[in-house]
Amino acid sequence: MSKVLELDADQLFKELNVPNRVFVVYFSAPWCGPCIGMKPIFEKFSEAYSQLACFGHVDVAQSPTVAKPLNIHGVPSIAVFREGKLSKLIMGSNSYSELHKTVESELKYLD
């Protein structure tokens, strides 16, 4: 079972500095209805791909300074980082299959 790390801004930027890995981060807020619906989808996705990437979650209501430098303009958003650099940003609510199609190419090179 994959463990999704709960991160604040400082922890996120520290995790992004770990070399040689893909880090997939879910940005949400407790007041966001679509975010609540996306949470189990993200958790299922993190379990399916736990061998290929690390996974984290940032509550933008608790860490509001993290969104702007990463170009997160709305929630829910899922960001894929390679070597600490943003390589893919998925904004809005997505089904598991949409998330799989969008992120799979980012994880494929590690397979």
Q: Say if residues 2 and 46 touch (Cβ distance below 8 Å).
A: yes
Q: Which of 16, 35, 72, 78 is catalytic?
A: 35
Name the CATH architecture for the domain at 4-108: 3-Layer(aba) Sandwich (3.40)
**What pTM does this model have?**
0.93
What would the pLDDT profile of 48-85 be if each residue is shown by its tens digit? 999 889 999 999 999 999 988 998 999 999 999 998 99
99, burial (CB in 10 Å: exposed 0-12, middle 13-18, buried 19+): buried
At 88-107, the pLDDT tens digits run: 999 999 999 999 888 888 87
3-state SS class at 46? helix
> How is residue 92 annotated by DSSP?
S
Asked about 54 being catalytic, the answer comes back as no
Question: Which one of the listed residues 32, 41, 54, 103 is annotated catalytic?
Answer: 32
Question: What span, in angstroms and rounded, lies between the C-alpha atoms of 9 and 89?
Answer: 18
